Amino acid sequence: MRGVIVGTGKRLTEVVHRIATLLTSGSRKSRELQESKARLEEAQRVAHVGYWVWNLDTDRVTWSDETYRIFGLAPQESPIDLATVREMIHPEDRESVFRTAEEAIRGGAHPDSEHRLVRPNGEVRIVHSLGDLKRDASGRPYQMFGTVQDITDRERAEEALQRTQSYLSEGQRLAHMGSWAFNAAGHYWSDELYKLYGLDPKNGAPTVEQYLALVHPQDRASMAETIKLMQEEHRGFDQIERIVRPDGRLRYIRSVAVPVVEQGVFKGFVGTTMDVTDQELLTQELRREQAYLAEAQSLTHAGSFACNFVTGKIFHLSDEAFRIYGLDPSSRDIPFERFYKATHPEDEPALREKFYGAIQARMDYDLEYRIYRPDGTIRFLRSVGHHNPAGEIGEYVGITMDITERKRAEEERERLRQLEADLAHINRVNMMGELAAALAHEIKQPIAASITSANACLRWLARDPPDLERARAAATRIEQDGNRAADVINRLRSFYKKETPPERETVDVKDVIREMTVLLRTEAIRYSIAVHAELDADVPNILADRVQLQQVFMNLMLNAIEAMKDTGGELRIRTQLNPESQLMISISDTGVGLPADNTERIFDAFHTTKPQGTGMGLAITRSIVESHGGRVWATANQESGATFHFTLAVEAEVHA
Amino acid sequence: MMTAACRQAIQDLVESVGLRAESFATGEEFLSRKRAGDPSCLVLDVRLPQMSGLDFQHRLAETGVQIPIIFITARGDIPLSLKSLKVRAV
């Protein structure tokens, strides 16, 4: 490029020279002269070339119009002083310019220099100046003629080009990027490209075969195909392949090739090649981490989000967040409103209040609410949002979790708890049913006895003479049996009361034990079981719910009877005060004993060893005892059977 | 099982019509106690505290005591009655 400009400049300079010589020689007709002069002016103006004539005798200089313009002056007719010209040469170049001229006058070469000049407005221009010496017949130099060309733009363009090239090569080095061209002239590789491949520039660009040998074996076939398409179909490409450099290092390379077509004719390819190993490894790691994160989110049913709730702009929404709302993660552009509108109408007002309250206050939030999925199912969600105080209002990052399973489990637990309470009631009702038969018998006995006695009494009275003594005895028995039946009914009455809140009253445990012994006597006798109560006379009164206490005894005694049902045996009830001033009651049997494994489990709800058991008896027992500040446990007896113990807190002496 | 009160009432009723009557709490007691004379009839509860009424009937049959037995029970059921009849209860 430089050559072209300089070349044109030289030719022009010669033309100017010739014409100027003609002009100054004054040997042509004036019309021709005028035309030539006009053409010269035009040529000078176009090429930014001016001429000058330096009269060596007077040291006056004549400039052409263009020369004035180059020097930033208005053209004028009269010559100017050499000193003035000298002043306008850039101070740093002044000396060398005039030295060259003086050398030429002394017989040296034609002055030819590039130098700077300073225009009156301070602007610096670069000019190319050529001179030619004129001598008279004696050979004495009397005039120097020369041209001056403003080459500032050219110089600047060259500087810019050099700068661009240097930036480009520096840029390639920094970016690990090389460039290449492939055309009729050959195969060009930039220096950086050689470095990327670990090749020596001295060996020139590799052939296709040599190049493919560098490509990683797994990527070689696809690269060969790409090159084939490039050569045969002139198809460009943009792909990442792995190469193994001569030093053995594996690098990821991204190559971009663009076909060059000029006026419909294919000329070759230009392209760039970049070492993207770091980015690629980072990308791979990022993808791995994203996969782990997605997996973790999917496992925990937690989706992450980042959005501005005020503007409704969503910055990030993980796949799991979509799935939680029953949406397809691939359907990306879902408006924020769609998510908010999924909220269950019953939860919406409370959610709106708390949620927008937190946003206005720029606070974190942690909320639970229900949503409807598009398929109509309801899910429980918990959303935790963190507001970055540095961010805009409404900007939150957080997670949304599907807690439906947990909620269902909680509901299930609550349901079971309710069921347990129901069962406790049913169990008691069942027990009452079982007892009713036994109690009916218990009541029927004295009634049957009194009817029989009444019969006998009537017969004694019907005798002649009436046997009054035997009749009185019979009547006495009727009274006793009647009272006995009434007693049984009185004892029962407390059981028929409907579930009432626990009522603490002063209770004599001995009374309760006696009552229960009476109630269960028939049952015990039925299975040949002897019941013994060893009651300490000093047993203090306790504050308890009488009905519940009866139930505890009933459960434990029925269990003991159940354990001895097939064998018969002995049921023993003992009371004693333990060192902690607690009343300890032990109910032991000589039955089948405890299960060999965990004896504590027998107190768990629904744990049963009986075919018809509900597994609630001991669970209820424990809950009652614990509500009275005591505890219940079981021990195996030395010989046979088991003993159930429970403690009750003793109240301070209660005065009536 | 019959309570002492019931037993006593029945004994008194039988005596009130001029018959001699004795009462026993258990089968064992009947077998072991010296009795005034051979009874002509036995009123027996099916459910006895130790030896069951039916077992007691077997024992009587084994020892050759042949007395008519009236079974009474507070909770009679058909299988039990059939069983008793098969062992010659009256």
Give the pLDDT confidence of B33-63 residue by residue, as tens digits. 777 777 788 888 776 666 777 778 888 888 7
Q: What is the pLDDT of residue A468?
A: 93
Q: How confident is the model at residue A24 (pLDDT cuts 50, 70, 90)?
A: low
Whether residues A350 and A478 share a domain: the answer is: no
Q: Quick check: A400 pLDDT over 70?
A: yes
Residue A500 has pLDDT above 90, yes or no: no
Please give the Cα distance from A404 to A2 (Å, whole number).
78
Q: From A225, A247, A275, give the residue that closes a domain.
A: A275
Are A470 and B50 in contact (CB < 8 Å)? Answer: no
Same-domain check for residues A23 and A130: yes
For A211, the token pair is 């190049």
Residue, of A455 and A165, whose pLDDT is higher: A455
A507, A655: one domain: yes
- The reported pLDDT for the residue numbered A624 is 79
DSSP per-residue codes, A381-429: EEEEEEE-TTS-TTEEEEEEEE-HHHHHHHHHHHHHHHHHHHHHHHHHH
Residue at A118 is within a domain = yes
Confidence band of A384 (pLDDT split at 50, 70, 90) = very high
Per-residue pLDDT at B47: 67
How many domains in chain A?
5
Is B2 in contact with A445 (Cβ distance < 8 A)?
A: yes
Note whether B16 contacts A528, CB cutoff 8 Å.
no
Pairwise CB contact (< 8 Å): B8 & A477 = yes
Give the mean pLDDT of chain A. 83
Whether A77 is in a domain gets the answer yes
Q: pLDDT-based confidence at A382, cuts 50/70/90?
A: very high
Task: Judge whether A205 lies within some domain.
Answer: yes
pLDDT score, position A492: 63
What pLDDT is attached to residue A581? 79
pLDDT band (50, 70, 90) for residue A470: very high
Residue A513 shares a structural domain with residue A646:
yes
Distance (Å) from the C-alpha of residue B31 to the closest C-alpha of chain A?
20
Asked if pLDDT for residue A386 goes beyond 60, the answer is yes
Nearest to A614 by CA among A655, A531, A563, A555: A555
Contact B12 A456 (CB under 8 A): yes
Is residue A536's pLDDT more than 90? no
Which of the four pLDDT bands, split at 50, 70 and 90, describes residue A3? very low
Give residue A356's domain range: 284-402
Q: Which of A449, A459, A460 sits opposite B3 (nearest CB)?
A: A449
Q: How far is CA A380 from CA A373, A410, A413, in A?
A: 11, 12, 17
At A142, the amino acid letter reads: Y
**Mean pLDDT along residues A456-464:** 92
Asked whether the beta carbons of A75 and A48 are under 8 A apart, the reply is no
**Residue A575 pairs with which residues in a beta bridge?**
A585
Distance from CA of A643 to the nearest CA of B (A): 25
**Predicted local confidence at residue A484, as pLDDT:** 85
Radius of gyration of chain A (CA): 59
Q: Which residue of B has its CA nearest to A568?
A: B50
Tell me the pairing of strands A124-135 and A112-118: antiparallel
User: Is A605's pLDDT higher than 70?
Assistant: no
Contacts with B, A 450-469, CB within 8 Å = 450, 452-453, 455-456, 459-460, 463, 467
How far is the C-alpha of A53 from the C-alpha of A34, rounded, in Å?
Answer: 19
**Per-residue pLDDT reduced to its tens digit, A221-233:** 999 999 899 888 8
Q: What is the distance in angstroms between the Cα of A447 and the nearest Cα belonging to chain B?
A: 9
Q: A54-63 — which CB contacts under 8 Å span 24+ positions?
A: A54/A82, A54/A101, A54/A131, A54/A143, A54/A144, A54/A145, A54/A146, A55/A79, A55/A142, A55/A143, A56/A105, A56/A141, A56/A142, A56/A143, A56/A144, A57/A142, A59/A83, A61/A85
Going from the C-alpha of A282 to that of each of A266, A273, A278, A426, the distances in angstroms are: 38, 19, 6, 66
Interval A40-61 mean pLDDT:
85
- Which tokens hold the place of A187? 């195969």
Tokens 């190559």 identify what position? A255
Give the pLDDT band of residue A530 (cuts 50, 70, 90). Answer: very high
d(C-alpha A515, C-alpha A87), whole Å: 138
d(CA A101, CA A109): 9
In the prediction, which pLDDT does A432 show? 61
Contacts B45 to A, Cβ<8 Å: none
Task: State the best of A442, A443, A451, A459 to mutate against chain B, taking most chain B CBs within 10 Å.
Answer: A459
Chain A nearest CA to B6, separation (Å) = 4
User: Which of the four pLDDT bands, split at 50, 70 and 90, describes residue B7?
Assistant: confident
Taking CB atoms and an 8 Å cutoff, what residues of chain A touch B2? 445
Minimal C-alpha gap between B45 and chain A (Å): 13
Together in a domain, A97 and A67: yes
Q: What is the arithmetic mean of pLDDT over A384-407?
A: 88
Interchain CB contact of A341 with B (< 8 Å)? no
Q: Is A470 on the interface with B (CB under 8 A)?
A: yes
pLDDT value at A467 more than 90? yes
What's the one-letter identity of residue A342? A
Q: Is residue A194 part of a domain?
A: yes
Output the CA–CA distances (angstroms, integers) from residue A493 to A432, A512, A515, A518, A555, in the order listed.
12, 14, 12, 14, 18
pLDDT band at A649 (very low <50, low <70, confident <90, very high): confident
Nearest residue, CB atoms, B6 vs list A449, A522, A525: A449
Looking at beta carbons, which residues of chain A come within 8 Å of B49?
525, 528
Q: Are strands A505-507 and A177-183 parallel, antiparallel or unpaired?
A: unpaired
Going by C-alpha positions, the residue among A596, A638, A599 that lies closest to residue A618 is A599
Q: Do A453 and B16 touch (CB under 8 A)?
A: no
- Separation of alpha carbons A314 and A470, rounded Å: 104
Task: Report the sign of the C-alpha dihedral through residues A646, A651, A653, A656, in that order.
Answer: negative
CATH class as words, domain B4-86: alpha beta
Contacts with A441 from chain B: Cβ below 8 Å: 74-75
Q: Pick from A441, A452, A470: which is nearest to B9 by CB?
A: A452
Which pLDDT score, from 0 to 100, does residue A422 have?
Answer: 63
Last residue of a domain, one of A442, A467, A494: A494
* pLDDT one-digit tens code per residue, A551-575: 888 889 888 988 898 888 999 999 9
Instruction: Tell me which chain A residues have a C-beta less than 8 angstroms from the C-beta of B1.
Output: 522, 525-526
**Rounded to 5 degrees, what are φ and ψ at A559?**
-60, -45
Query: Residues of chain A with pLDDT > 90: what percent?
Result: 21
Mean pLDDT of A330-334: 77
Whether residue A478 has pLDDT greater than 90: yes
| Edge-to-edge order in the sheet of strand A365-372 | A313-317, A302-308, A395-402, A378-387, A365-372
Residue A601: CATH number of its domain? 3.30.565.10
- The answer to whether the CB of A445 falls within 8 A of the CB of B6 is yes
- Contact between chains at A470 and B13 (C-beta distance less than 8 A): no
Tens of pLDDT, residue by residue over A174-233, are 777 888 888 877 888 988 899 889 999 898 888 888 899 999 999 999 999 998 998 888
- Residue A528 gets the label, from left (phi > 0), alpha (psi -120 to 50) or beta, of left
Out of B1, B6, B75, the one facing A525 most closely (by C-beta) is B1
Taking residues A600-612, what's their average pLDDT? Answer: 61
Q: How confident is the model at residue A159 (pLDDT cuts 50, 70, 90)?
A: confident
Residue A49 sits in a domain of what CATH number? 3.30.450.20
CA A306 to CA A315: how far, in whole Å? 5
This prediction's pTM: 0.36
Which residues from B are below 8 Å from A526, CB to CB? Answer: 1, 47
pLDDT of residue A7: 43
Q: For chain B, list residues whose CB is within 8 angstroms of any CB belonging to chain A.
A: 1-3, 5-6, 8-10, 12-13, 15-17, 47, 49-50, 74-75
Last residue of a domain, one of A364, A386, A402: A402
Whether B16 sits inside 8 A of A446 (CB atoms) is no
User: Per-residue DSSP letters for A537-588?
Assistant: TTPPPEEE-HHHHHHHHHHHHHHHHHHTTTT-EEEEEEEEE-TTSEEEEEEE
Cβ distance of A446 and B15 shorter than 8 Å? no
Instruction: Supply the pLDDT for residue A502.
Output: 57
**pLDDT-derived band at A4, boundaries 50, 70, 90:** very low
Percentage of chain A lying above the pLDDT 70 cut: 86
At residue A656, does pLDDT exceed 60?
no
Chain A nearest C-alpha distance from B9 (Å) = 5
What integer is the mean pLDDT of A276-294? 88
Same domain, A587 and A652: yes
Best of A442, A447, A453, A487 to disrupt the B interface (most B CBs within 10 Å) is A453
Q: Does some domain include residue A395?
A: yes
- Do A444 and A296 share a domain, yes or no? no
Instruction: Based on the fold, state whether residues A390 and A418 are members of the same structural domain.
Output: no
Same structural domain for residues A489 and A532?
Answer: no
Please indicate, yes or no, whether residues A149 and A81 belong to a single structural domain of this protein.
Answer: yes
Residue A163 forms part of a structural domain = no
- Asked whether residue A100 falls in the same domain as residue A10, the answer is yes
Q: Which of A166-175, A224-233, A246-255 has the lowest mean pLDDT?
A: A166-175
Q: Do the chains contact at A480 and B6, CB–CB below 8 Å?
A: no
Q: pLDDT confidence of A505, banded at 50, 70, 90? A: confident
Q: Show Cβ contacts of residue B15 under 8 Å, excluding neighbours closer than 6 positions.
A: A456, A470, B21
